[in-house]
């Protein structure tokens, strides 16, 4: 049978291990452009998220991290130039490595409202990260200023209250005075991620906080097996909890509403480090617009984007596992240091269409347009029409000879149909030649992206377009 490859790190590493063995052979950078296959659970958005897609992969191998960083920087800059030439507005953002591994990696996000990935960027500096890796500026640590005047904890009934908003409305308090305690299985034991009620837990941030222990979210099956852990009513003071990880915003200067560890019941006036312990303080919330930048203190914004590229510094994860080693000048063997770099070729096309389109169709940027020019002939009947066709065909041949790619619309169709189709297809320049223009020795030019129109002398069309 055949295997459909989602990625090729292992195969390429094995090839390099069999072909290269000396420090003199390195660095080496291998690449391919090929079809990839991934079992997407929800294929959608046409080319943006499909099970089959065209991708460019590159894999580099080095003697040390310093050499890897040089290639990483070169590939990073090359990708930025590629996206710029494609007319894409792209932000390079810090990212989570995920299963592929590596400590340093960046995603290239094409800014688009229809994108399915959120990313965070600072309005005052160059900080940018996807929501999985993004952090805010540090806040007051929990328990650092416990208010001794806060009343003792008080149990309150919350019948039928299945959400933070329900509980807040029932108690007449803001959502940010409640605490969410999200259950995780960490090493087979209950652990909690604790954040204010108006924020969401970043699962990846929690996993970073408890590393190297393995962590996963509690499932409905976990709750069913553990009736003493009531879903929706867990509090950070639960007797079975092994690790409590709290966001820095969970401070001791106020009394919080927490789950009472009993169904349909909560507790008022719970204070961290007085009424429940905190074992680890970590930035746990998903960053939101308006949060402060951890790098400069500026305001953070959240946008949506389409991932069109990703670069990784993988280190020795694959070379160690697959015995890809080199011999140094002293005869000692070392694992090769590896990087990998990917561009979604077919996804770039889809992202460009999302950014460069209007209500009438596509507005292809010059670097990616299927043709440079769409030439339309508006020929009437009789000898005049034949003359227009002949002139248009000569212009078509001359443009091609000058290296200008042309989509020639010589159909027997109305001007309105041709104009609408030209806007829909979206070539950067439209040239229209009709009987009236031919009689005056001019053709009409339209710039598709701006709608700007002017006239060009027919004998200057080739030089004008080939030299633009």
What is the mean predicted confidence (pLDDT) over 387-404?
95
pLDDT for residue 362 is more than 50: yes
pLDDT at 367: 86
Q: What is the mean pLDDT of residues 62-76?
A: 97
Tell me the mean pLDDT in the region 148-157: 88
pLDDT value of residue 146: 63
pLDDT reported for residue 80: 96
CB contact burial 230-239 (16+ within 10 A = b; e otherwise): bbbbbbbbbe
In the chain, CATH 3.30.930.10 covers 9-136+292-354
CATH 3.30.70.1350 fits 154-281, yes or no: no
Q: Averaged over 150-167, what is the pLDDT?
A: 91
Which pLDDT value is given to residue 111?
Answer: 93
Cβ neighbours for 38, distance < 8 A, ≥ 6 positions apart:
6, 51, 53
pLDDT at 53: 81
Per-residue pLDDT at 162: 80
Using 50, 70 and 90 to split pLDDT, how confident is the model at 42? low
CA distance 432 to 50: 38
Q: CA angle, 413 as apex, 412 and 414 as ends, to 5°?
A: 135
Mean pLDDT to the nearest integer, 177-204? 96
What is the pLDDT, as a whole number, of residue 143?
47
Q: Is the dihedral of CA 72, 76, 79, 81 positive or negative?
A: negative
Residues 136 and 106: beta-carbon distance below 8 Å: no
Round to whole Å and give the CA distance between 75 and 96: 19
- pLDDT of 149 reads 82
Averaged pLDDT of the chain: 91
Least confident stretch, 35-44, 288-297, 341-350, 452-461: 35-44
Q: What CATH number does the domain located at 373-466 have?
A: 3.40.50.800
> Mean pLDDT, to the nearest integer, of 395-404?
96
Range of weakest confidence among 149-153, 404-408, 450-454: 149-153
Q: Environment class of residue 253 by beta-carbon count within 10 Å: exposed (0-12), middle (13-18) or buried (19+)?
A: middle
Provide the whole-model pTM. 0.82
Q: What are the CA-CA distances from residue 412 to residues 378, 407, 421, 427, 436 (Å)?
A: 9, 15, 13, 20, 18
Q: Where in the chain is the domain with CATH 3.90.960.10?
A: 154-281
Superfamily holding 9-136+292-354: Bira Bifunctional Protein; Domain 2 (3.30.930.10)
Q: How confident is the model at residue 139, as a pLDDT?
A: 63
Q: Are 310 and 330 spatial neighbours (Cβ–Cβ below 8 Å)?
A: no
Q: Which residues contact 205 (CB under 8 A, 6 or more apart)?
A: 132, 135, 282, 283, 284, 285
Q: How confident is the model at residue 468 (pLDDT cuts 50, 70, 90)?
A: low
E strands, 46-168, in order: 52-62, 90-94, 104-111, 117-122, 128-130, 154-157
Report, as an integer, the average pLDDT of 166-174. 94
Burial pattern 114-130, b for ≥16 Cβ within 10 A else e, equals ebebbbbbbeeeebbbb
Domain(s) labelled CATH 3.40.50.800 in the chain stretch across 373-466
Beta carbons within 10 angstroms of residue 448's beta carbon: 23
């Amino acid at each position: 049978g055949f295997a459909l490859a989602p990625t090729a790190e292992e195969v390429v590493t094995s090839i390099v291990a069999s072909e290269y063995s000396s420090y003199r052979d390195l660095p080496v950078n291998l690449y391919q452009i090929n079809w990839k296959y991934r079992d997407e659970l929800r294929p959608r958005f046409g080319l943006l998220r499909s099970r089959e897609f065209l991708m460019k992969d590159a894999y580099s191998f080095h003697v040390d991290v310093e050499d890897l960083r040089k290639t990483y920087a070169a590939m990073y800059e090359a990708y930025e130039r590629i996206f710029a030439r494609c007319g894409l507005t792209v932000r390079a953002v810090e990212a989570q490595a995920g299963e592929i591994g590596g400590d340093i990696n960046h995603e290239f996000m094409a800014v688009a409202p229809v994108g399915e990935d959120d990313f965070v960027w600072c309005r005052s500096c160059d900080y940018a990260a996807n929501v999985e890796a993004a952090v805010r500026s540090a806040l007051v640590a929990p328990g650092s200023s416990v208010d001794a005047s806060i009343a003792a904890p008080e149990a309150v009934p919350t019948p039928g209250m299945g959400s933070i908003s329900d509980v807040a409305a029932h108690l007449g308090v803001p959502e940010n005075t409640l605490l969410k305690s999200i259950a995780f299985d960490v090493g087979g034991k209950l652990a909690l991620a604790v954040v204010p009620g108006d924020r969401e837990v970043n699962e990846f941030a929690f996993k970073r906080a408890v590393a190297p222990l393995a962590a996963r979210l509690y499932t409905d099956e976990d709750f069913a097996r553990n009736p003493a852990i009531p879903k929706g009513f867990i509090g950070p003071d639960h007797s079975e909890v092994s690790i409590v990880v709290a966001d820095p915003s969970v401070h001791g200067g106020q009394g919080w509403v927490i789950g009472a560890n009993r169904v349909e019941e909560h507790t008022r006036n719970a204070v961290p480090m007085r009424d429940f312990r905190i074992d680890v303080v970590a930035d746990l919330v998903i960053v939101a617009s308006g949060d402060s930048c951890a790098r400069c203190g500026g305001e953070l914004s959240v946008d949506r984007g389409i991932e069109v590229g990703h670069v990784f510094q993988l280190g020795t994860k694959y070379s160690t596992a697959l015995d890809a080693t080199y011999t140094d000048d002293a005869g000692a063997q070392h694992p090769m240091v590896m990087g990998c770099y990917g561009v979604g070729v077919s996804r770039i096309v889809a992202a460009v269409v999302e950014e460069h389109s209007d209500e009438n169709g596509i507005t292809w940027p010059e670097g990616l347009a299927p043709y440079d020019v769409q030439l339309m002939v508006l020929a009437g009947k009789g000898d005049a029409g034949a003359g227009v066709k002949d002139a248009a065909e000569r212009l078509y041949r001359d443009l091609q000879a000058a290296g200008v790619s042309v989509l020639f619309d010589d159909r027997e169709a109305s001007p309105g149909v041709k104009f609408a189709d030209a806007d829909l297809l979206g070539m950067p320049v439209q040239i229209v030649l009709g009987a009236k223009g031919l009689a005056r020795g001019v053709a009409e030019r339209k710039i598709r992206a701006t709608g700007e129109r002017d006239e060009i002398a027919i004998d200057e069309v080739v030089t004008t377009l080939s030299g633009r």
